[in-house]
Amino acid sequence: MSMDVTFLGTGAAYPSPTRGASALVLRCEGECWLFDCGEGTQTQLMKSQLKAGRITKIFITHLHGDHFFGLPGLLCTISLQSGSVVTKQPIEIYGPAGLRDFIWRTMELSHTELVFPYVVHELVPTADQCPPEELKEFMHVNKTDSHPKEGQGRTILLDSEENSYLLVDDEQFVVKAFRLFHRIPSFGFSVVEKKRPGKLNAQKLKDLG
């Protein structure tokens, strides 16, 4: 499988004229997966050979602004570039508890109408991921208050036996999140490609000796 990584931003705290805030894209099989979305991410995408409309999954490590303040703007740009007739599959968004509330309130306050659906899956942190005074209980928005284009997401708990959060398990990949210690609850992500059978024609090789 052809896979490549593009660093769109490696700066901390805020973007600069020459360096974007945290964001990178993993591209595989025609899809783009975005990891973090700091300010300026959509501008960096426009400078690259990547297409924002190819993004199918977004993973947010933690809720410090330099890692996700670019997300509302990016979603709006993808919507504007998608046109009026859309067959786009929902964009799957993964991140710490509180992310869904942020996206919904941003869309609600800005009267944003997206033309594509999206789903937010929230990871529930544990008490040992940050200093005790920084661990907050987020009040989730009611389903009746969700954005018209928002689908039903999952609330993902830690698998204590695996010591990880299972996010994706399909025919090609297993994606898991792992707890990191930071000033606020944070997560790292692993993407593992599943084994695939080879394409050699064993019988033809035997026939050819």
Q: Any catalytic annotation for residue 66? A: yes
Helices 99-109 & 71-82 angle (0-180, nearest 10): 60
User: What span, in angstroms and rounded, lies between the C-alpha atoms of 89 and 148?
Assistant: 15
Distances (CA, A) of 15 to 1, 9, 41, 43, 130: 33, 8, 9, 11, 25
> Could you say which of 4, 66, 145, 207 is catalytic?
66
Active site residues: 66
